[in-house]
């Protein structure tokens, strides 16, 4: 036994850096709770309190790295960085710009809505290519976003390392590691590395595990599935399979490329897969049936948490729901069309993917450019590693390989203009076909072709009219 006559200093870490309310009902979250617990710890003999502040609404740890980054840039440039969160980013942005207010240097709104703003209001955002000191070729800007989101050489919106929301809005496949081990099937990490992680392979593995667990002859919410997703995933899956329905010409203007034999083939494959109720837990089949479908403890999340879904085709934002899951899970990019496809492709959720934009109302573009670039550069150095280490490796995928997979996923993102602008409702045509179990995608798309090309023309004309 140690020498009890010597004095000891008791330190109480009452919040922890990475702990969540789902892990313990005793975790203090609000300032009041933290104060109460702190006083109680002091009364019990603690001499030192070690505290990590929390966002009261969610209990998420505040990202220390983001705070540190802001302090670094504030001190270096003698400025003050103010973050103004709002529930209605496009609305607040539009109001500030219409009032010719200089209160915002950068605006980070959802990709789709930022675009809608530009289109409906006309020329409210500055061309990022023309802002001095924003060097878009630098690695703290997403090079795929730079190339894919421009129209006619103008780039009003892109992705940078300043924000993390777009990282969470990236589609990937979560997989259950316990099921991989229990069924002795291939390690998805090895498949990805070997370039053999394909739709066919995923289907084959899904068939190995799908089972009518309760033996009632019907696949229900208590049974085991190979794949979980929704009809929306069909279009997303086609993008990941390398199909591009909109391409840009030599003048950087979008053109409708339509379907071809290869994309029709992939469509049919996804239709067969997503339509197979013995294999697929499909969210659409459970809407209005009683049980909650999403929300962290609905049909979909419960099935994954309870080891009854091998592959979950979803955005990374959902992983927050599985931190208290017993079994480990991993993360891989969506599968390729076939082994010949070069690289893995991940799409983003355009409605929750926050972007980088600069309003035209900025009075000192030089200053905004310098600070934006410095913030993004510092983010790549400090915030991104923290995001990988703390958010993903430690709490999410709980293994060594997930960081490597994230590099692959983030390095191969596609920002599909069709998804963004929804020209002629093109992406919806696929979900609609899926929902009505229709195989006539060619004629469905032909019917809206004029609408699609007209809508593209309007977008291109709007861009051409902007002076900024
Ligand atoms: Ca059953």
Q: Walk along the chain (468 residues) and give the pLDDT tens digit of each residue.
A: 445 556 677 767 776 554 555 556 666 666 667 777 777 877 787 776 666 555 444 444 446 888 899 999 999 999 999 999 888 888 899 899 999 999 999 999 999 878 777 777 778 999 999 999 999 999 999 999 999 999 999 999 999 999 988 998 999 999 999 999 999 999 999 999 999 999 999 999 999 999 999 999 999 999 999 999 999 899 999 999 999 999 999 999 999 999 999 999 999 999 999 899 999 999 999 999 999 999 889 999 999 999 999 999 998 888 878 878 889 899 999 999 999 999 999 999 998 888 999 999 999 999 999 999 999 999 999 888 888 876 565 555 567 788 889 899 999 999 999 999 999 999 999 989 988 888 899 999 999 999 999 999 999 998 888 766
| Cα 442 to averaged position of ligand 1 atoms, centre (Å) | 35
- Determine the straight-line distance between the first and last CA of the chain, rounded to whole angstroms: 74
Q: Distance between CA 417 and CA 348 in Å, rounded?
A: 11
Residue 341, SS3 per DSSP = coil
- 214 alpha carbon – ligand 1 mean position (Å): 5
Q: Cα dihedral sign for 38, 39, 41, 47?
A: positive
Domain ranges of the chain: 11-50, 66-160+359-392, 171-347+413-465
CA 216 – CA 429 distance, rounded (Å): 35
- Expressed in angstroms and rounded, the spacing between residue 225 Cα and the centre of ligand 1 is 11
Task: Give the closest residue to 206 by CA, choosing from 283, 272, 302, 284.
Answer: 272
- Determine the pLDDT at residue 359: 94
Q: Which two tokens stand for residue 116?
A: 């809608």
How far away, in angstroms, is 433 Cα from ligand 1 center? Answer: 27
d(CA 425, CA 173): 26
Q: How far is the CA of 297 from the centre of ligand 1 (A)?
A: 20
Name the region of 274 (left: φ>0; alpha: ψ -120 to 50; beta: rest).
alpha
Rounded to the nearest whole angstrom, what is the distance from the C-alpha of residue 221 to the centroid of ligand 1? 8
C-beta of residue 219 within 8 angstroms of C-beta of residue 212 = yes
pLDDT value of residue 400: 75
Ligand 1 centre distance from Cα of residue 278 (Å):
10
CA 276–ligand 1 middle distance (angstroms): 14
Collect all residues with Cβ–Cβ distance below 8 Å to 63 and sequence separation of at least 6.
Answer: 164, 383, 386, 387, 390
Cβ atoms of 331 and 197 within 8 Å: the answer is: no
- Overall residue count recorded for the chain in this entry: 468
CA of 219 to the centre of ligand 1 (A): 4
Q: Ligand 1 centre and the CA of 178: distance in Å?
A: 21
Between CA 263 and CA 439 the distance in angstroms is 13
* CA angle in degrees (0–180, nearest 5) for 235-233-216: 140
Ligand 1 centroid distance, CA of 211 (Å):
8
CA distance 437 to 234: 12
Query: Ligand 1: distance of its center to the CA of 173 in Å?
Result: 24
Contact 299, 281 (CB under 8 A): yes
439 Cα to the center of ligand 1, angstroms: 28
Q: Classify domain 171-347+413-465 by CATH architecture.
A: 3-Layer(aba) Sandwich (3.40)
For residue 273, how far is its CA from the centre of ligand 1 (angstroms)?
Answer: 19
d(Cα 444, Cα 258) in Å, to the nearest integer?
A: 12
Task: Say if residue 382 is exposed, middle or buried (CB neighbours under 10 Å; 0-12, 13-18, 19+).
Answer: middle
By CB atoms closer than 10 A (0-12, 13-18, 19+), residue 437 is exposed
CA within 13 Å, CB half, 299: 24
| pLDDT score, position 388 | 80
Paired tokens of 141: 């800007």
Q: Indicate the pTM of the whole model.
A: 0.83
Q: Please give the structure tokens belonging to residue 269.
A: 């494959």
Give DSSP secondary structure letters for 290-336: SS--STTSSHHHHHHHTT-EEEEEEEGGGGGGGTT-SS-EEEEPPPB
Q: How many CB atoms lie within 10 A of CB 282?
A: 23
Cα angle 332, 110, 77; round to 5: 95
C-alpha 215 to ligand 1 mean position (Å):
5
How far, in Å, from the CA of 431 to the mean position of ligand 1? 26
How far away, in angstroms, is 375 Cα from ligand 1 center? 53
Using only the alpha carbons of the chain, give its radius of gyration. Answer: 24
Task: Enumerate residues 6+ apart whose C-beta is below 8 A from 451.
Answer: 423, 424, 425
Report the run of H or E that residue 98 belongs to, with start and end: helix 89-98
How many A from CA of 289 to the centre of ligand 1?
16
Maximal CA-CA distance, the chain: 87
Pairing of strands 329-332, 171-176: antiparallel
């Amino acid at each position: 036994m140690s020498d009890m006559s010597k004095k000891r200093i008791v330190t109480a870490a009452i919040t922890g850096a990475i702990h969540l309310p789902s892990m313990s009902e005793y975790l203090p979250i609000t300032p009041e709770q933290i104060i109460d617990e702190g006083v109680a710890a002091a009364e019990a003999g603690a001499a030192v309190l070690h505290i990590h502040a929390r966002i009261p609404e969610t209990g998420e740890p505040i990202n220390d790295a983001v705070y540190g980054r802001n302090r670094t840039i504030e001190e270096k440039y003698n400025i003050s960085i103010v973050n103004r969160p709002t529930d209605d980013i496009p609305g607040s942005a539009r109001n500030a710009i219409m009032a010719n207010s200089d209160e915002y240097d950068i605006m980070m709104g959802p990709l789709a809505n930022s675009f809608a703003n530009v289109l409906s209001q006309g020329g409210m955002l500055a061309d990022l290519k023309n802002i001095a000191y924003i060097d878009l070729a630098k690695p703290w800007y997403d090079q795929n976003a730079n190339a894919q989101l421009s129209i006619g050489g103008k780039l009003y919106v892109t992705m940078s390392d300043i924000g993390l929301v777009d990282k969470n809005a990236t589609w990937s496949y979560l997989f259950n590691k316990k099921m991989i081990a229990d069924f002795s099937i291939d390690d998805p990490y090895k498949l990805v590395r070997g370039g053999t992680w394909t739709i066919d392979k995923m289907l084959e593995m899904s068939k190995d595990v799908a089972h009518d667990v309760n033996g009632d002859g019907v696949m229900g919410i208590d049974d085991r599935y190979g794949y979980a997703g929704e009809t929306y995933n069909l279009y997303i899956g086609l993008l990941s399979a390398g199909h591009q329905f909109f391409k840009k010409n030599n003048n950087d203007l979008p053109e409708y490329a339509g379907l071809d034999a290869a994309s029709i083939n992939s469509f049919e494959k996804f239709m067969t897969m997503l339509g197979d109720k013995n294999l697929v837990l499909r969210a659409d089949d459970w809407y209005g049936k009683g049980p909650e479908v999403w929300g962290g403890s609905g049909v979909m999340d419960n099935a994954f948490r309870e080891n009854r879904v091998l592959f979950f085709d979803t955005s990374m934002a959902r992983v927050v729901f599985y931190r208290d899951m017993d079994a480990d899970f991993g993360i891989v990019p969506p599968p390729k069309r076939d082994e010949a496809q070069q690289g893995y492709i991940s799409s983003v959720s355009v409605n929750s993917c926050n972007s980088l934009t600069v309003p035209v109302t900025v009075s000192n573009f030089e200053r905004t450019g310098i600070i934006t670039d410095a913030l993004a550069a510092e983010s790549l150095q400090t915030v991104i590693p923290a995001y990988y280490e703390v958010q993903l490796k430690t709490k999410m995928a709980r293994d060594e390989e997930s960081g490597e997979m994230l590099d692959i996923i983030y390095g191969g993102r596609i920002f599909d203009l069709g998804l963004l602008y929804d020209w002629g409702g093109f992406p919806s045509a696929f979900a609609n076909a899926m929902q009505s179990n229709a195989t006539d995608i060619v004629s469905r798309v032909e019917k809206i072709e004029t609408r699609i090309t007209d809508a593209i023309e309007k977008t291109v004309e709007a861009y051409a009219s902007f002076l900024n």
